[in-house]
A and B are shown apart, each in its own frame.
Chain A
Amino acid sequence: MYRTRLSDHLILILGSFMMIGPVAVIFLTSTHDAVEVHRHGLMATWGGHFTDTYRKVLFESGGFTGQATGLRMLMNSMILGIGFAVGKIVLSMMAAYAIVYFRFRMGTFFFWVIFTTLLLPLEVRIVPSYEVVQKLGMLNTYSGMIVPLLASATGTFYFRQFFKSVPDELLEAARIDGAGPWKFFIDILVPISKTMIAAIFIIMFVYGWNQYLWPMMMTSDEVYFTLVRGIKQILLVWVGSQIPDYNEAFALAVLAMLPPVIVVVVFQSWFIKGLTESDK
C-alpha cells in the first residue's frame, strides 16, 4: 500500500499556507492604523486597532463611500445573495418540474429556449442588458440587481438532473392515492429535494453575494452598494489621496469575504456534494 511520506504533508502545508497566508495578512493589516500601514507595508502582526477600524467601517457613514455605511452594504449584499438564491431555487424548481413531470407539446421547445441561456454569460451581453434594465426603469433597485441575474438555466439544469433521478414509483403511488400535480410537488417532491435545495442555496448564495460587474453597472446610488461593489469605490477614492485608508479598505474586504466563507466552510459537505454532483 501507499505509505504517506513527509513530502506529501509538506506540499499540503505549503498549499494551505498559500491559500490562508494572504487573507491572514490582509486581516492582520486591517487592525493597524493607516499611517503605520503606509510606512511599514503589509503587516503580519496584531495591530490592536481592530474595534476602532471595524466600528468605523460598519457604522460610520462617509469615509470612502459617502453615504453608505458598511452595515448598509452588508445588508445589500445579504439581500442580493439571499434574494438571488431564493429566486433561483423557486423559478428553476418550477421550470424543471414542468419539463420533467409533464407531457406537453411545446416541452422540448421550451427546454431548448431555457437551456440556450447556458451558452451566453451575462458578461457577454452586458451593455444591451443594461439598456433593457434602463428602459424598464429598474436602475438602482433591488429587483433590477437580482432579476436579470436569474435569466440563466443553471438552477433549472441542476433540478432537472435531480428530478430525473427520482424513482418513477413515487409518482405512480402518489397518483394512485389521488394526488394532483401541485400536491405531489409540494408534499413529495419538495421534501425529498431538501438536501439538493440546501446545496444549491449555498452555491447560489455565494454566487449572488460575489456578483461584481452587474451591481457595479446598474447601481450608481450608494444606498444600493454591496460590499463587493464597494471594493471598486475604495480604489477610485484612493487615486490621488495622500495616505489611503488601507486599514478600512482591508476591513471592508474582510467583511465582504466573511459571510460566503462561513457558509461554505460550515456547510462544506452539502456544498461539495451540490457542486460536484450537479455541475455536470
Chain B
Amino acid sequence: MKRVQFSSASLPYLYLLPQLAIIVVFFYWPSVQAIQSSFYLEDPFGFGSTFVGLDNYTDVLESSSYGEIARFTVVFTLLVTFLSLSLALLFAVKADAVLKGSSTYKTLLMWVYAIAPPVAGLMGVMFFDMHIGPFLEVARLVGWDFRIGLNYFDTAFAMVVISVWKQIPYNFIFFLSGLQAIPKSLREAGAIDCRSGFRRFWTITLPLLAPTAFFLLIINMTYALFDTFGIIDVVVKDKAANNPITLVYKVYMDGFRGGDLGGSSAQSVILMFVVFVLTIFQFRFIERRVHYN
C-alpha cells in the first residue's frame, strides 16, 4: 500500500459505491440465490418450492449422466489445455528464434484471439460439416466416416480442435512475452556451455518459462471449463441428445431448457467449488512468484 494516503470519512465510499452496488446486485444476490435454490425443489408450474436438503446434490452426483459428463469435461479440459499450450509454446519458441519476420509471424499467430468462441465454433462446424465440409474428404481418405453431431467421438474431436485453435493465440502471446523477457546474457551463457539447442531448451528456457506456463495452465483450464460454452453450443445446437457436453453446458441445459432449477443450482454450486479451488491455487502461486522475482 501507499505510504501517503488521503483520509476522508465519505470520499472512498463514494468512489467505491458504483462498483459495489453493481457487484452486490448482480454478483452476490444471484450467487446467494444459486446456493439457496440448490436446497429447494421448485414446482415446475411455479407454485412455490419445498425444502429438500441435500437431495438435489445427491441426485446430481448419483446420476450416471452427470458422471459421464464430468468425465468428458475432465478429458476435454486436459486435451484442450495440453494441446493449445504445447502448440503455442512451439510457435512462440520458433517466433522468438527467427531473426527475420518475427513481428509478422507474431501478428499472424495472435490475431485469432479477437474471434469470439461461437464464431470460431460456426467456422469449425462448417469445416466438419457433412454436406460442405472439406475435412470429411480428408477423413474419407483414411477411411474415417466422420459424422459430426451424430457420432459421440467425432463431435468431441471437432470440439477439441476448434477449442484448441481458438486458444493458441492467447497462450502464444504469453509464451512469447515470457521468452522475450529472458535476458540475452543468460542465453549467450547457455549457448557457450551447451551445443544442443534441444537440451538448452529443456534445461534453461523451460524452467525460466515455468511461471508463465503455470499461470497459463490455470487460465486454460478455466477457458476449457467455461469459455468454450459458445463453441459447444454452436456444435451441439441445443440437441445434446447423444453429443458430448461439458458441465457448464449442463447447468445451462437443465436450468434453462429443462426448468430444473434446484438441480441446476446444485450443479452451479459444485462448479463454484471447483473454480474456487482453482483460483485459490492460482492466487497462492502468484504470491510466491512475486516473492521470488
Question: Which residue numbers of A lie inside 8 Å of B, CB to CB?
Answer: 1-2, 4, 8-9, 11-12, 15-16, 18-20, 22-23, 25-26, 29, 37-38, 40-42, 90-92, 94-95, 97-104, 106-107, 110, 113-114, 117-121, 123-133, 136, 147-148, 150-153, 156, 164, 168, 171-172, 175, 181, 206, 209-213, 217, 228, 231-232, 234-236, 239, 246, 249-250, 253, 256-257, 260-261, 263-265, 268, 272, 275-276, 280
**Once bound together, how far apart are the Cα atoms of A107 and B9, in whole Å?**
12
- Per-residue contact bits, chain B 99-124, to A (CB 8 Å; 1 contact, 0 not): 11100010111111111111101111
Q: How far is the CA of A213 from the CA of B115 in the complex (A)?
A: 15
Give the distance in Å from the alpha carbon of A151 to the alpha carbon of B6 in the complex: 27
> Which chain B residue lies CB-closest to A277?
B177
Report whether A171 and B19 are in contact in the complex, using a CB–CB cutoff of 8 Å: no
Task: Determine if B18 and A94 form an interchain contact, defined as CB atoms under 8 angstroms apart.
Answer: yes
A-contact bits for B240-267, CB 8 A (1 contact / 0 none)? 0000000010011001100001001100
Task: Give the distance in Å from the alpha carbon of A91 to the alpha carbon of B75 in the complex.
Answer: 38
Closest chain-B Cβ to A152's Cβ sits at a distance in Å of: 7
Q: Which residues of chain B in 272-292 are interfacial with respect to chain A, using CB atoms and an 8 Å cutoff?
A: 272, 275-276, 279, 286
Contact string against A for B residues 4-16, beta-carbon threshold 8 Å, 1 for contact and 0 otherwise: 1111110111011
Q: Is the interface of A mostly helix, strand, loop or mixed?
A: helix
- Pairwise interchain contact A119-B94, C-beta atoms closer than 8 A: no
Bound Cα distance from A33 to B188, whole angstroms: 57
Q: Are A12 and B105 interface neighbours, CB within 8 A?
A: yes
Q: Is the CB of A127 within 8 A of B109?
A: no
Identify the closest chain B residue to A234 (Cβ): B122
**What are 30 A-B pairs with beta-carbon distances under 8 A?**
A2-B197, A4-B100, A12-B109, A15-B91, A40-B132, A42-B133, A91-B19, A98-B13, A99-B16, A104-B12, A110-B16, A113-B20, A113-B23, A117-B23, A119-B276, A128-B30, A129-B30, A130-B256, A136-B25, A148-B22, A150-B26, A151-B22, A209-B116, A210-B117, A232-B118, A235-B122, A236-B238, A249-B122, A268-B110, A275-B174
Contact check, B30 vs A121: say whether CB atoms are below 8 A apart: no
A102 to B10, CA, bound (A): 10
**How far apart are the CA atoms of A231 and B13 in the complex, in Å?**
42
Instruction: Please name all residues of chain B whose beta carbon is closer than 8 Å to the beta carbon of A246 when the two chains form the complex.
Output: 126, 132
Identify whether the interface residues of B are mostly helix, strand, loop, or mixed: helix
Interface centre among A20, A126, A261 (most CB of B within 10 A): A126
Contact indicator per residue, chain B 32-68, by CB within 8 Å of chain A (1) or not (0): 0110010000000000000000000000000000000
The answer on a CB contact under 8 Å between B15 and A12 is: no
| With contact pairs A19-B109, A19-B111, A91-B22 given, residues A41 and B4 touching in the complex (Cβ less than 8 Å) | no
- Find out whether the CB atom of B37 lies under 8 angstroms from the CB atom of A128: yes
Contact across chains for B18 and A132 when beta carbons are under 8 A apart: no
B127 within 8 A of A: yes
Tell me whether B237 is interfacial, beta carbon within 8 Å: yes
Say whether B264 contacts A127, CB under 8 Å: yes
Given contacts A118-B279, A120-B275, A256-B116, contact A38 B31 (CB under 8 A): no
Q: Is the CB of B117 within 8 A of A94?
A: no
Interchain CA distance A121-B124 in the complex, whole Å: 25
A164 to chain B, nearest CB (A): 8
Q: A150-B22, A151-B26, A209-B116 are in contact. Are A127 and B34 (CB under 8 A)?
A: yes
Q: Is the CB of A147 within 8 A of B248?
A: no
Out of A23, A40, A113, which one reaches B123, CB within 8 Å?
Answer: A23
- Inter-chain contacts of B112 with A (CB < 8 A): 19, 23
- Do A265 and B107 touch across chains, with their CB atoms under 8 A apart? yes
Interface segment among B78-86, B151-159, B225-233: the answer is: B225-233
| Contact yes or no, A132 B26, CB < 8 A | yes
Measured between beta carbons, the chain A residues less than 8 angstroms from B252 are 123, 126-127, 213
**Nearest chain A CB to B158 CB, angstrom units:** 13
Bound CA span A38–B133, Å: 10
- Give chain B residues whose Cβ lies under 8 Å from the Cβ of A23: 112, 115, 123
| Interface status of B173 (Cβ within 8 A of chain A) | yes
Bound-state Cα–Cα, A275 to B95, Å? 19
Pair B279/A4 contact, Cβ less than 8 Å:
no
Pair A260/B6 contact, Cβ less than 8 Å: no
Cα–Cα, bound, A101→B6 (Å): 6
- Contact pick for A95, options B8, B16, B107, B187, CB 8 Å: B16
Residue from A151, A175, A217 within 8 A of B4 (CB atoms): A175
Is there contact, CB below 8 Å, between A41 and B134? yes
User: Complex: how many Å from CA A153 to CA B26?
Assistant: 12
A90 to B15 CA separation, bound complex (whole angstroms): 10
**What are the residues of chain A within 8 A of B234 when measuring CB–CB?**
231-232, 235
Known: A102-B12, A103-B5, A181-B8. A265 touches B111 (CB 8 A): yes
* Alpha-carbon distance between A263 and B123 when the two chains are bound, in angstroms: 21
A124 and B268 contacting across the interface, CB-CB below 8 Å: yes
CB–CB B4/A168 < 8 A: yes
A151 to B237, CA, bound (A): 29
- Please name all residues of chain B whose beta carbon is closer than 8 Å to the beta carbon of A150 when the two chains form the complex: 22, 26
